């Protein structure tokens, strides 16, 4: 449980940094990063921790990829709702943040 919370915090820091570098620096922006990840990260983590029970025949790498795609779309919908961005902009920012955080996770964890 503590490890999952640490991963959530690391994800928030990484994705918040991406948003900051992209020019979104207000307290509202930081709060949005926290809220978006608090919504999506625990669901993704739960499914990945229990993937053998939920989808025993699926390869773990395929499951991670498919879930990350779902997360990108879910987070894009949340960004679109919060900021009123176009679909393309919301998807682009969501993809950008998730590729960076996933890449950092692959490198450092």
* Tens-place pLDDT, residues 12-54: 999 999 999 999 999 999 999 999 999 999 999 888 888 777 6
Within 10 angstroms of residue 61's Cβ, the number of other Cβ atoms is: 8
Q: Rounded CA gap, 87 and 31, in Å? A: 21
Give the end-to-end CA distance of the chain in Å, rounded to a whole number: 17
> How many angstroms from the chain centroid is the CA of residue 66?
13
| pTM for the full predicted model | 0.87
47-104 residue pLDDT tens: 888 877 767 767 888 888 999 999 999 999 999 999 999 999 999 999 999 999 999 9
Among candidate residues 102, 28, 105, 40, the one with its CA nearest the CA of residue 77? 40
* Domain range summary for the chain, segments of one domain joined by +: 2-108
């Amino acid at each position: 449980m503590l490890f999952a919370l640490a991963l959530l915090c690391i994800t928030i820091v990484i994705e918040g940094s991406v948003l900051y570098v992209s020019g979104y620096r207000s307290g509202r922006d930081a709060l949005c990063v926290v809220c978006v990840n608090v919504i999506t990260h625990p669901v993704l983590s739960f499914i990945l921790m229990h993937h053998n029970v939920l989808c025993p025949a699926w390869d773990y790498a395929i499951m991670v990829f498919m879930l990350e795609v779902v997360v990108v779309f879910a987070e894009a919908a949340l960004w679109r709702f919060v900021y009123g961005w176009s679909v393309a902009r919301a998807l682009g920012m969501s993809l950008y943040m998730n590729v960076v955080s996933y890449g950092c996770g692959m490198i450092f964890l």
